[in-house]
Amino acid sequence: MTRRLELIATAAFGLEAVVARELQDLGYTEQQVEDGRVTFIGDELAICRCNLWLRSADRVLVKIGSFPAFDFGQLFDQVEALPWHEWLQVDSRFPVSGKSVRSQLHHEPTIQAITKKAIVESLKRSYERHWFQESGTEYQVEVSILKDQVLVSLDTSGAGLHKRGYRAHGGGLAPLRETTAAALVLLSYWNRERPFLDPFCGSGTIAIEAALIGRNRAPGLSRNFLCESWPQLTRLHWKESREEARDKILNKPKFPLIASDIDDRVLRLAETNTLQAGVAGDIEFRPMDVLELKTSLEFGVIITNPPYGERMLDDESAAEIYDDMADAFEPLSTWSIYVLTSHPGFERLFRRRASRRRKLYNGRIECHYFQYLGPRPPWEITKDDAEPVANDDESPTNDDQHDS
């Protein structure tokens, strides 16, 4: 029997619209977008499908309830009143994690303890027991309070969805989160018919996420999720959604994706990651300084994350690299260029004003995604293509050629 469930896909700030669009494409159109999350309606199968398919979301949660609470008594009573027996079995383990922002209830350890106690009370009534061993299936309870509004949910993902299972080691190289890299591609006009290039590829995250998108390969296909042991989701749900994901994989994109970097060592790591991601044949890695960049291909898309101040190098070297980028990209008049950097002087140093820019976070670092839109490829002009994502950017400027 399918249930109408309220589900939540959590997202990094700035990526909510990307996640909402992904959910829409998966068929989940009844949705509400808020800071850091998209709430949507789905069923048990949706939990499996969204964990497997969402590229830019952090986690998938099941919403158990939400209510206002201004003191611990209110928190206790309302958590106790939720239908816990519909989810937790008599022997389930249910660790609770809590967080609170700008609320009267702010001591997180107490929020967790009260929530736990209220769930135990609720289960005592449902199962007519006084004591629970908690040796069975794990359900991670999340209680988050924002401006006195409590949201109680169960995490279905376990490890965050950025853990695709392909990254060997990221150590010390400032790799982008997989979810952020996927969002950069989804925010761009790249598609499997167009050349792709990342000339500062590092461990290859953007190219790998583009290759997965190019193949229409579900990013979670090589990993497991916390809710796989839940009795609410049957083996049939998982079989059906994994089969669907395997059936939808496409053959190679038209052009090999090109990923280059000046550092041989990171390229070896990138190659290992690509192999693990199952897209080894789709990406060509080249050891190369950005200044050596040459291509006869047209209407391609560059999506890149060059070094920037805070983590990678000093301002003077960043300025030099952005100047080199300006020279290297100059001949690519038909290409669209997308650059993620936290450097405040990027546009000046790159000597071009972006058609659009959008604020995004790379971990905790505030960045901007600078978008330079080239002309539309002639083979796409007859197609009635939609925007990549509702692009609620900060500053559209009138040199936005792609829409002309």
Ligand X SMILES: C[S@@+](CC[C@H](N)C(=O)[O-])C[C@H]1O[C@@H](n2cnc3c(N)ncnc32)[C@H](O)[C@@H]1O
Give residues in contact with ligand X (CB under 6 A). Answer: 173-176, 199-200, 202-203, 205-206, 261-263, 266, 289-290, 305-307, 312, 321, 324
Nearer to ligand X, 130 or 364 (CB): 364
Collapsed DSSP state (helix, strand, coil) of residue 332: coil
Say if CB 338 and CB 301 are below 8 A apart: yes
Nearer to ligand X, 7 or 182 (CB): 182
Nearest approach, Cβ of residue 204 and ligand X (Å): 6
Nearest approach, Cβ of residue 267 and ligand X (Å): 9
Nearest approach, Cβ of residue 313 and ligand X (Å): 8
Nearer to ligand X, 107 or 311 (CB): 311
Nearest approach, Cβ of residue 57 and ligand X (Å): 19
| Radius of gyration (C-alpha) of the chain in whole angstroms | 23
Q: How far is CA 32 from the centre of its chain?
A: 18
Nearer to ligand X, 113 or 365 (CB): 365
- The encoded tokens of residue 172 equal 């010390």
The per-residue b/e assignment along 99-125, b for 16 or more CB within 10 angstroms, e otherwise, is ebeebebeeeeebbebbbebbbebbee
Nearer to ligand X, 158 or 175 (CB): 175
φ and ψ of 7, to 5 deg = -115, 160
Nearer to ligand X, 287 or 396 (CB): 287
C-alpha 182/C-alpha 206 separation (Å) is 7
Question: Which sign, positive or negative, has the C-alpha torsion 115, 57, 340, 285?
Answer: positive
C-alpha 84/C-alpha 109 separation (Å) is 21
Nearest approach, Cβ of residue 162 and ligand X (Å): 11
Nearer to ligand X, 80 or 282 (CB): 282
C-alpha 346/C-alpha 318 separation (Å) is 9
CA distances from 258 to 195, 200, 307, 333, 389 (A): 8, 11, 18, 18, 24
**Cβ-closest residue to ligand X?**
202
Question: Edge-to-edge strand order for the sheet containing 356-362?
Answer: 283-287, 257-261, 196-198, 301-304, 336-341, 365-372, 356-362
Nearest approach, Cβ of residue 159 and ligand X (Å): 19
Nearest approach, Cβ of residue 29 and ligand X (Å): 32
Nearer to ligand X, 69 or 258 (CB): 258
Nearer to ligand X, 146 or 173 (CB): 173
Output the DSSP codes for 122-172. Answer: HHHHHHT-S-----S-B-EEEEEEETTEEEEEEESSSS-TT--S-----TT
Look up residue 361 and give its amino acid.
Y
Nearest approach, Cβ of residue 183 and ligand X (Å): 13
Nearest approach, Cβ of residue 99 and ligand X (Å): 28
261 closest CA partner among 276, 273, 278, 277: 273
φ and ψ of 379, to 5 deg = -70, -10
Nearest approach, Cβ of residue 359 and ligand X (Å): 18
Nearer to ligand X, 150 or 206 (CB): 206
Q: Which helix (H) or strand (E) holds 346?
A: helix 346-350
